[in-house]
Chains A and B, each alone.
Chain A
Amino acid sequence: AQTVTQSQPEMSVQEAETVTLSCTYDTSESDYYLFWYKQPPSRQMILVIRQEAYKQQNATENRFSVNFQKAAKSFSLKISDSQLGDAAMYFCAYRSPTGNQFYFGTGTSLTVIP
């Protein structure tokens, strides 16, 4: 099974500043999909951004962008202009193109300081 590692259990950022959340993964596959999910206190899981491994260009969704380093098996999430509503648990996830299973990291709890 693939493993996904989030080495930062907790992070904090000042409102309007930028923060980067780290994620590494282990795989022998050359093609796969990576995701960042947000889980606010409501516990609802919300997709933030996704990246296809065959694409060299880093995905961007408004204030959210990723730094995808395929050789290093690294997939970090950058949140720019942090807002109070960004406070949540963030999960990194991996999916093989040939399988149905998703593998999640243990999450990073992000606090936004006013």
Chain B
Amino acid sequence: NAGVTQTPKFQVLKTGQSMTLQCAQDMNHNSMYWYRQDPGMGLRLIYYSASEGTTDKGEVPNGYNVSRLNKREFSLRLESAAPSQTSVYFCASRMNWGLAVGETQYFGPGTRLLVL
């Protein structure tokens, strides 16, 4: 059982380049999330998708776009990378049962992105 997978594991970009971070989960979860983690800042939510076909902005969406391609896959795109986007990016998924007992998130291993 792979859980949540992310590709690539590490990427170096030049300022202004674009790239897409891929995320897939095989747990049949409804909700998927993209976070960034910076030193001393914890995890901050970029975008999330409550269900297939929907996406919503999180705390720090500027400079990013997302696509919920299907129930399994949720990609994050940087159209024009900036050094401020140097970070570790985590994808997560969750089975959203609404008011049911708080289902937790399952995280991928992270993508380390360096923008020069």
Inter-subunit contact B109/A104 (CB<8 Å): no
Give the Cβ gap from B58 to chain A, nearest Cβ, in Å: 6
Inter-subunit contact A102/B88 (CB<8 Å): no
Q: Which residue of B lies closest to A4 (CB)?
A: B42
Partner of A43, one of B50, B58, B99, B110: B110
Q: A101-B58, A104-B43, A105-B42 are in contact. Are A44 and B104 (CB under 8 A)?
A: no
Complex alpha-carbon distance, A97 and B50, angstroms: 13
Inter-subunit contact B59/A1 (CB<8 Å): yes
Inter-subunit contact B109/A42 (CB<8 Å): yes
> Interface residue count for B (Cβ, 8 Å)?
29
Inter-subunit contact B59/A45 (CB<8 Å): no
- Give the interface residue-count category, chain A: 20 to 34
Residues 69-107 of chain B, each 1 if its beta carbon lies under 8 Å from chain A, else 0: 000000000000000000010101010101101101111
Inter-subunit contact B50/A100 (CB<8 Å): yes
Inter-subunit contact B99/A50 (CB<8 Å): no
Give the Cβ gap from B98 to chain A, nearest Cβ, in Å: 8
Q: Can you spell out 16 A-B residue pairs with CB atoms less than 8 angstroms apart?
A: A35-B102, A35-B104, A46-B107, A52-B101, A52-B102, A91-B42, A91-B43, A97-B99, A100-B50, A100-B96, A101-B58, A102-B33, A102-B105, A104-B43, A104-B44, A106-B40
